[in-house]
Amino acid sequence: MRYVDEFRDAARIKAVAEEIHRSVDPGETYRIMEVCGGHTHTIFRFGLSQLLPENIELIHGPGCPVCVLPMGRMDVGLAMAERDDLIFTAFGDMMRVPGSKGSPLQSKARGADIRMVYSPLDALKIAQENPDRPVMFFAIGFETTTPSTAVTLLRARELGLTNFYVYCNHILVNPAIRALLEMDDMRLDGFIGPGHVSTVIGCEPYRFIADEFDRPIVVSGFEPLDILQSIAMLVRQLNEGRSEVENQYTRAVSWNGNPSAIAAMDLVFETRDAFEWRGMGDIPKSALAIREEFAAFDAERQIGVHGQTFPDPIEAQCGEVLKGALKPTECKLFGKGCTPEKPVGALMVSSEGACAAQYKYADVTIGTTG
């Protein structure tokens, strides 16, 4: 199949759903986590859970980099933004993410120069156009967006820029999956693997999930048929007692990923000893820092803001939702104190947040078209 509408075809979707119903063991419960927020939105948007047997439970994982960023990191970024003359740049889904003193848009209303960009190269261009002002790019994302930041820093060094900085909040997917599997109170039977991340790192890095933890994982595309096919593949593995890494998303993902992207990442970044994840605490080796060779562009080194940061509000149960311990609707604030218009937690803001998806598509029955 080559076209999007083929992956949303009602007849094909119905056929795969019926295959899943025939395949499940009525005496078993299948707890499957979709790691990526893009998958979460597809599941809610098209009402895919309604097509599945009752004994398949989809758990929404920590696959939204905006959502897992703790409030303290946003506080530091906004403190940088409010320094004299600094231009703060970030992706659009960061603009309404709350820190303890408000979001970037609220900081902009207070007079900070906050600009939305579509890529880090846009931020680099702003730095070239404003040579007398420092420009900081708020870098965030899993391995999906990390190569573009790496290429931008390589370009900044090539240009000899002295006013461009990156505040690095890039994180890694596999340490988070490992942390979930090591939680005593977390039962997960299999994983729908992240498609976008896998276009960069490939499928091989997930082998530890099968080898060490005896869980299957299927890397999936993002259309309704992709996700249902991946669930069918997982059910088949579980029924047969297999734990393997499989690739449903073969049209975009190769087994060993993108060597050029991986090389750029390795050249510019190194692994941090630990990094705090919202709701999950410090996870070892789960994030990236800018290497010493590129220290001149590191906002944490060159700008640095040392002051008080604040923990995430405990009344918003974002951490429990991110770990899959709670459904979005089980959070005490969902749809009441926390809405897309007045978000308390990042999961209600981000385009990949589980709470935003649940809120937006709550009334969806079963859909097979966009």
- Average pLDDT over the chain reads 90
Instruction: Report whether pLDDT(364) > 60.
Output: no
Coil/strand/helix, residue 244 = coil
Report the C-alpha gap between 247 and 255 in whole angstroms.
Answer: 8
Q: Which CATH class is domain 4-65+174-196+204-237?
A: alpha beta
- Decide which of 337 and 47 is more confident: 47
pTM over 0.85: yes
Percentage of residues in the chain having pLDDT higher than 90 = 71
pLDDT number for residue 351 = 65
Delimiting residues of CATH 3.40.50.11740 domain(s) in the chain: 71-171+287-302
pLDDT digits (tens, 9 = 90+) for 5-54: 888 899 999 999 999 999 999 999 999 999 999 999 999 999 999 999 99
Tokens of 12: 């094909």
Cα 264 to its chain centre, rounded Å, is: 20
| Contact partners, residue 28, CB within 8 Å, separation at least 6 | 55, 238
Fold (topology level) of 71-171+287-302: Rossmann fold (3.40.50)
Delimiting residues of CATH 3.40.50.11750 domain(s) in the chain: 4-65+174-196+204-237
pLDDT number for residue 306 = 64
In the chain, at which residue ranges do the beta strands (DSSP E only) sit? 30-34, 56-60, 87-90, 113-116, 135-141, 164-170, 190-193, 217-219, 245-247, 269-271, 274-277, 281-284, 288-290
- Does an H or E element contain 356, and which? helix 354-360
Q: What are phi and psi of 115, to 5 degrees?
A: -130, 135
